[in-house]
Amino acid sequence: MRDGITLSADVYRPKENGPFPAIVVRTPYGKTGKAMDRQGKTYASHGYAVILMDVRGRGDSDGEFVPYFNEGIDGHDTIEWAAAQPWCNGEVGTMGGSYLGRIQWLAALTRPPHLKAMISTVSPSDPFVEWPTGVPTPHHVCWLYMTSGRVMQDVDVIDWERVYQHLPLVTMDERTGKRLPSWREQMEHTRLDDWWRRLCYQDRFHELDMPVLHISGWYDDEQVGTPLNFAGMTRFAGTERARKNQKMIMGPWPHRVNRSTALGELDFGPDSLIDLDGYQLRWFDYWLKGEENGIMDEKPVRLFIMGENRWREESAWPLPDTQWTSYYLHSGGKANSRFGDGTLSPQPPKQESPDRYTYDPERPVPYITEMTSSQIGGPDDYSAIERRDDVLVYTTEPLSEELEVTGPVEMELYASTDARDTDFMVKLLDVWPSGFAQRLTDGMVRARFRKGMDRPELVEPGKVYRYKVDCWNTAHVFRKGHCIRVEVASSAFPKYDRNLNTGAPLGQTTDMSAAEQTIYHDTERPSAIILPVIARKGSS
């Protein structure tokens, strides 16, 4: 690297004489495992030189691992090193998922001259997009523990439930038996400041001239980044060439895409798995080898529509024929739990009593998930959790015909609290005739960040505010006889840390208090979830 640090890479090359286009894959998870070896051999057998590299401070590479902060310039130097080798023809692409996806964006922003195309899979977003709380999520301490030191740490030996319950957050790492410097440093920056902005890329698409293949799944716990990146590049990339040459694939997958047809209690059928390796090879064959294989003649968006469990190609994201439809909250003031009187409908409310509940951070609403950071949530059944009185539940009548919801989901929520700061969580669910309440997507807002992650401001107790809650994206058909349901609560633990309701500096204290929450749905304050409804053709 330019600062003299040596990074270790394994290079796979075709048996034939070169030179060849090259593919760079940089990872903190170890370059020598079976999956990496398979990837190297697969692409080398198709005429590519493949560089699998341990990032700085991990595996066999020298230096100190500080997540993300060296990856832009290290990626640049690796790409240019590869291009200069006698076995490379100067055409270089990058690929990889999760951490490997995000660091491609950071490298691309340094504008390495020989980078020609990317495949970014399940890419994390900018700071605070996935977790708009001002502090890292509890699961992040698991990831930092796993990647501490040079080799992968065994996360299964830790009682993560005990770790996540620890307060104050700033010393949560001690419960793992390790002091994690990155956790402590991130806890010092509880707003979007210049320290975090060094890792931002989603406001810099205009600087890029690059074809990108974007891949994720509807149940990827970092899903929100992929549609944002595709839409951002098609609108704001620096050249018309780049804007017209983006593609996106969204399957019914978790963070580890295209591995199984089943997720949780659901099986999405044999068609839910695709030849993803073959598609990625076609992408690189076109952009790095110049092969006219027809891939760019196909529509740019490929979506798996859950509920009917089939793939569909589209021309844009969000879909051009989207009918943005508000479904309003209604009740007689007793929407607490699924046994309450909360309803959901396209009809705006009139004069209705607000709903109230008590949020106690000592007894947070559970978010159904494994305790490690490998996957957070899925199409889980929330019917049991909806028995709680601190969960407001609003449900439509059983649908008389199919309803497709495909695109970004947002909630406009009118709410007040008697605290100086608190949280509001929103969840969209499909309720089956059996009572199975399938989570589709969800989101949250921390009251102090209602004006933006760079502008924290405590709320005035008792004052009604309009909150916009980004509930990410879905592509789902609600079948005839099913119901649409919205949950409103003030915690989703341990997906997000508990708001202690005091307004104190985030992550530093153990003091907490219960908050009295009020959700409004009347003529002046019509709380509603805004669904991207798609007209059905020939539905019944």
- Both 277 and 398 in one domain: the answer is no
- pTM across the whole model: 0.97
Give the chain's mean pLDDT.
97
Whether 206 is in a domain gets the answer yes
Whether 372 is in a domain gets the answer yes
CATH code, 394: 2.60.120.260
- Both 411 and 439 in one domain: the answer is yes
CA-based nearest residue to 97, from 35, 13, 180, 12: 35
Whether 210 is in a domain gets the answer yes
- Both 72 and 213 in one domain: the answer is yes
Active-site annotation holds for 255? yes
Total of domains in the chain = 3
- Parallel, antiparallel or unpaired: strands 49-54 and 20-27: parallel
Show which of 269, 292, 314 is a domain's final residue.
314
Alpha helices in 123-180, H assignment, sequence order: 138-146, 160-164
- Both 341 and 483 in one domain: the answer is yes
- Both 110 and 175 in one domain: the answer is no
Active-site annotation holds for 260? no
- Both 330 and 292 in one domain: the answer is no
| Residue 460 CB partners (closer than 8 Å, separation 6+) | none
Compute the distance between CA of residue 222 and CA of residue 121 in angstroms, rounded to an integer.
10
Residue with tokens 């493949």: 50
Whether 539 is in a domain gets the answer no
Q: Are 430 and 451 in contact (CB under 8 A)?
A: no
Whether 512 is in a domain gets the answer yes
Q: What are the pLDDT tens digits along the chain (540 aa)?
A: 999 999 999 999 999 998 999 999 999 999 999 999 999 999 999 999 999 999 999 999 999 999 999 999 999 999 999 999 999 999 999 999 999 999 999 999 999 999 999 999 999 999 999 999 999 999 999 999 999 999 999 999 999 999 999 999 999 999 999 999 999 999 999 999 999 999 999 999 999 999 999 999 999 999 999 999 999 999 999 999 999 999 999 999 999 999 999 999 999 999 999 999 999 999 999 999 999 999 999 999 999 999 999 999 999 999 999 999 999 999 999 999 999 999 999 999 999 999 999 999 999 999 999 999 999 999 999 999 999 999 999 999 999 999 999 999 999 999 999 999 999 999 999 999 999 999 999 999 999 999 999 999 999 999 999 999 999 999 999 999 999 999 999 999 999 999 999 999 999 999 999 999 999 999 999 999 999 999 987 543
Catalytic residue among 98, 272, 383, 490: 98
CA-based nearest residue to 50, from 84, 17, 75, 87: 87
- Both 118 and 215 in one domain: the answer is yes
- Both 111 and 173 in one domain: the answer is no
- Both 72 and 161 in one domain: the answer is no
Alpha carbon 18 to chain centroid, angstroms: 39
Compute the distance between CA of residue 124 and CA of residue 110 in angstroms, rounded to an integer.
18
Whether 179 is in a domain gets the answer yes
Active-site annotation holds for 220? yes
- Both 349 and 495 in one domain: the answer is yes
pLDDT digits (tens, 9 = 90+) for 40-96: 999 999 999 999 999 999 999 999 999 999 999 999 999 999 999 999 999 999 999
Show which of 172, 189, 206 is a domain's final residue.
189
Catalytic residue among 74, 173, 220, 355: 220
Residue-range definition of the domain harbouring residue 152: 139-189
Determine the pLDDT at residue 540: 38
CA-based nearest residue to 42, from 70, 14, 62: 14
- Both 287 and 236 in one domain: the answer is yes
Catalytic residue among 255, 330, 482, 521: 255
CATH code, 49: 3.40.50.1820
Whether 540 is in a domain gets the answer no
- Both 449 and 462 in one domain: the answer is yes
Whether 364 is in a domain gets the answer yes
Show which of 251, 279, 314 is a domain's final residue.
314
